[in-house]
A = this chain, B = another copy of it.
Amino acid sequence: MTEKPVNRKGISKARARFIRESADVRRQALIEATARCLAEKGVAGTSVRAICARAGVSSGLLTHYFDGVDALILATYEDVGVRVSAALEQAVEEAGDDPRDQLRACLQANFRAPILDPDLLATWTAFWSLVRTDPGIAAIHADVYRRTRAQLEALLRAIVPEMPQDRARLAAISLTALVDGLWLEICLDPTTFSAEEAQAMVERAMMLALGQWRGDAGRGDWIDQSDKP
């Protein structure tokens, strides 16, 4: 008595096979598909159907696991933010014990894979454009940047303990802004300057922030002075 399933138009349909996955696997797949969509086609091209097609699932599944497409985008922002933080963290750990090396590594890692990636910037600009209108995105943004600055501030004060609190704060803000600006521009238009030049610029800014630069407008040499009075 098993009759073939028939839709409203009377056409027999064969439902596709599928495998059951855990909620975590599905969520992660949807998040990664969203990031790829944002990167490749921008916010406008990031639709439920596009995301689900990339994730290889049907469109109904998005609503099943997330509270709509906006919630998925928010989850994607969180995930991407965590991965960037992890990449920076790893760079710091691989840099050894000298806080100066750690700071340099933390800054320069922004101009190497996986952070130096135009696709990642496309994802990020999509989020920036949502900060204004979406309080949830704004909250995550504030948190991500606060953590970044706090980390830089801690490294600065580890290197130069006598640096005043306020100066460390402003230095961390400046370095973050410089890195952001360089990263933005090199991802948007890689022909203007190279990743190596970007790394040199942030290293120079770092040294200047540490107050270990002597004005020699012509040569640009570094003055090594590891121990301070």
Contacts and interface: CB of A to CB of B under 8 A. Distances in A.
A195 interface: no
A163 B218 CA distance: 6
B44 A44 contact: yes
A216 interface: yes
Q: Is the interface of A mostly helix, strand, loop or mixed?
A: helix
B217 A163 contact: yes
Interface in A35-74: 39, 41-45
Contacts of A185: 145, 173, 176-177, 180
A52 to B, nearest CB: 19
B189 A181 contact: no
Q: How many identical subunits does the complex contain?
A: 2
Interface in A162-195: 162-164, 167, 170, 173-174, 176-182, 184-185, 188-189, 191-193
Contact of A44 (B43, B128, B170, B193): B43
A181 B177 CA distance: 4
A215 B217 contact: no
A74 B89 CA distance: 39
Contacts of A126: 129
A154 interface: no
A220 B167 contact: yes
Interface in A123-145: 125-126, 128-133, 138, 141-142, 145
Interface of A: 39, 41-45, 118, 121-122, 125-126, 128-133, 138, 141-142, 145-146, 149, 160, 162-164, 167, 170, 173-174, 176-182, 184-185, 188-189, 191-193, 197, 200-201, 204-205, 208, 210-218, 220, 223, 228
25 contacts: A39-B132, A41-B133, A125-B125, A141-B188, A141-B189, A145-B189, A162-B217, A162-B218, A163-B217, A164-B218, A170-B197, A173-B193, A174-B178, A174-B182, A176-B181, A177-B184, A177-B185, A177-B201, A178-B181, A181-B181, A208-B208, A208-B213, A212-B217, A213-B213, A217-B228
Which 5 residue pairs of A and B lie closest in terms of their CB atoms, listed nearest first? A211-B217, A177-B181, A181-B181, A180-B181, A125-B129
